[in-house]
C-alpha cells in the first residue's frame, strides 16, 4: 500500500486543530503536514511538521506539495457565515480561490484524495426546514452558503471530468472545547460553555427557540475520517453528504448546562445572525451517508454537555 502524506490547510482552526491531531495518530506525525496562514505556536512546531501557508497562494501550495511529496490535501481554511457577511467579496475570493487551487493541483499532481468541507449553509429560505433532504431546492443567501454551494458543484465537476477523488461533508454547527470558533452563526453553542465556565451570564445572539443542526467534534472527526477511508465505489454523492447528529435550540442547550450548574443565567439579544439561522434547516436527512459509508453519530445533547463540562476546565487550566 502506498504511504499517504497529508497536508492540512487551516490546521490551526476549530476543526483543523482536532482533525490534525487525530490524523497524526492514524498516519503518524511525520506524515501529516500542518499548515495555516497564522505563524505557528510553539506547541504546533513540537507536534509535527508545520508550514505557514496562505491558501490563496497556489505557488507556495505547489512547493509544499512537492517538498513533502503530499498525496492527500484536507482544505479546511474558510471564512464562515457571520464573518463572511462583513466582507462578502473577500469571503468569496478566499473560499473559492483556495478550493480551485487545491482541485487544480490535485488534478495536475494526481493526488490520491482531497477533503473539503461544505455546510448546512448551502440550504436557504426555500429549502425544506425539517429533515432537509440531500437533494432539494438550494437557494443560500449568505456569501458563505453561496461559496459552499458553488464549491460543491466544482467538486462534483472535478470528480466526473478529471477523476479527482474529492470528498465532502455538509457539516452542521460543530461544537468543541479545545479552540474558540471564528465567525459562525452556530458558534453561540461553543461560546456558551466558556461563559458557563466563568459563571457569567450568557447573552445569546439567537432567539431561544431557534433550532439548528449541530454536531459534537468527536463525531465530526469520526465522520470525516470514515468518509476519507470509504472505498470510492461506495460513494454515491460527489457533491457533499448531509450528516446529522443533534438538533437543539439555545434554550435547550442552556437548560442542559443548567442541570449541572444551577446558577447559570442566559439573556437573548438576537442580531443579524438570527436572519442567517432562519434560512438554515432545523435538522437534515442523512440517510445517504448512513447507507453509503455507515455514518452514525454517537453523541446526543446531554452526553455532549457532560463531556464538555468535564473537560473544558481541565483543558483550559
Ligand atoms: C457557521 O455557522 O457559519 C458554520 C457552519 C454551519 O458552517 N459553523
Whether the pLDDT of residue 234 is over 80: the answer is yes
**How many whole angstroms separate alpha carbon 48 and alpha carbon 137?**
43
Report in angstroms the alpha-carbon separations of 181 from 14, 178, 254: 5, 9, 19
Whether the pLDDT of residue 304 is over 90: the answer is yes
- Give Cβ neighbours of residue 171 (< 8 Å, ≥ 6 apart): 15, 117, 118, 119, 120, 215, 220, 243
Residues flanking ligand 1, CB < 6 Å: 80-81, 119-121, 144, 171, 173, 184-186
Whether the pLDDT of residue 265 is over 50: the answer is yes
pLDDT at site 2: 56
- Counting atoms of ligand 1 from 1, which one is nearest the CA of 142? 3
pLDDT at site 180: 83
Whether the pLDDT of residue 1 is over 90: the answer is no
Residue that has been written with the C-alpha cell 497556489 in this structure? 58
149 C-alpha to ligand 1 centroid (Å): 13
Report in angstroms the alpha-carbon separations of 20 from 30, 73, 204: 12, 12, 30
Q: Which one from 144, 158, 177, 299 is the annotated catalytic residue? A: 144
- Looking from the CA of 89 toward its CB, the CA atoms found within 13 Å total 0
Give catalytic status of residue 115 as yes or no.
no
211 C-alpha to ligand 1 centroid (Å): 14
Q: What is the pLDDT of residues 88-102, one digit of tens each?
A: 999 999 999 999 999
- Counting atoms of ligand 1 from 1, which one is nearest the CA of 148? 7
Residue that has been written with the C-alpha cell 447559570 in this structure? 264
Q: What is the pLDDT of residues 144-176, one digit of tens each?
A: 999 999 999 999 999 999 999 999 999 999 999
Residue nearest to atom 6 of ligand 1 (CA): 173
- DSSP structure string for 266-311: EEE---HHHHHHHTS-SSB--HHHHHHH-------HHHHHHHHHHH
pLDDT at site 201: 97
284 C-alpha to ligand 1 centroid (Å): 14
Per the CB < 8 A criterion, the answer to whether 154 and 100 are in contact is yes
Q: Is 180 exposed, middle or buried (0-12, 13-18, 19+ CB in 10 A)?
A: exposed
Q: Whole-number mean pLDDT of the chain?
A: 97
Average pLDDT on 205-221 reads: 98
Cell of 162: 478529471
Helices (H), 140-271: 143-162, 188-198, 217-229, 250-258
Amino acid at each position: 500500500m502506498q504511504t499517504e502524506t497529508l497536508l492540512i490547510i487551516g490546521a490551526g482552526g476549530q476543526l483543523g486543530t482536532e482533525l490534525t491531531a487525530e490524523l497524526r495518530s492514524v498516519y503518524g506525525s511525520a506524515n501529516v503536514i500542518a499548515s495555516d496562514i497564522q505563524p505557528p505556536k510553539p506547541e504546533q512546531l513540537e507536534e509535527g511538521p508545520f508550514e505557514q501557508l496562505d491558501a490563496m497562494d497556489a505557488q507556495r501550495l505547489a512547493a509544499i506539495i512537492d517538498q513533502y511529496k503530499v498525496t492527500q490535501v484536507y482544505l479546511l481554511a474558510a471564512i464562515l457565515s457571520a464573518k463572511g457577511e462583513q466582507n462578502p467579496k473577500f469571503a468569496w475570493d478566499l473560499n473559492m480561490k483556495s478550493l480551485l487551487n487545491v482541485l487544480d493541483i490535485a488534478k495536475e499532481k494526481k493526488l490520491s484524495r482531497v477533503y473539503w468541507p461544505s455546510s448546512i449553509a448551502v440550504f436557504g429560505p426555500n429549502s425544506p426546514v425539517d429533515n432537509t433532504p440531500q437533494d432539494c431546492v438550494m437557494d443560500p443567501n449568505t456569501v458563505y452558503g453561496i461559496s459552499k454551494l458553488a464549491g460543491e458543484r466544482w467538486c462534483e465537476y472535478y470528480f466526473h471530468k478529471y477523476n479527482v477523488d474529492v470528498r465532502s461533508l455538509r457539516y452542521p454547527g460543530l461544537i468543541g472545547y479545545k479552540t474558540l470558533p471564528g465567525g459562525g452563526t452556530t458558534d453561540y453553542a461553543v461560546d456558551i460553555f466558556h461563559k458557563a465556565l466563568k459563571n457569567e451570564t450568557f447573552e445569546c445572539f439567537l432567539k431561544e427557540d431557534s433550532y439548528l443542526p449541530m454536531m459534537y467534534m468527536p463525531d465530526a472527526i469520526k465522520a470525516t475520517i470514515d468518509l476519507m477511508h470509504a472505498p470510492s465505489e461506495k460513494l454515491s454523492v460527489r457533491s457533499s453528504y448531509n450528516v446529522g447528529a443533534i438538533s437543539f435550540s439555545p434554550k435547550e442547550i442552556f437548560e442542559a448546562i443548567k442541570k449541572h450548574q444551577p446558577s447559570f443565567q442566559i439573556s437573548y439579544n438576537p442580531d443579524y445572525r438570527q436572519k442567517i439561522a432562519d434560512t438554515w434547516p432545523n435538522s437534515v436527512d442523512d440517510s445517504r451517508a448512513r447507507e453509503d459509508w455507515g455514518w452514525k453519530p454517537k453523541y446526543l445533547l446531554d452526553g455532549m454537555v457532560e463531556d464538555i463540562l468535564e473537560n473544558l476546565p481541565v483543558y483550559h487550566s
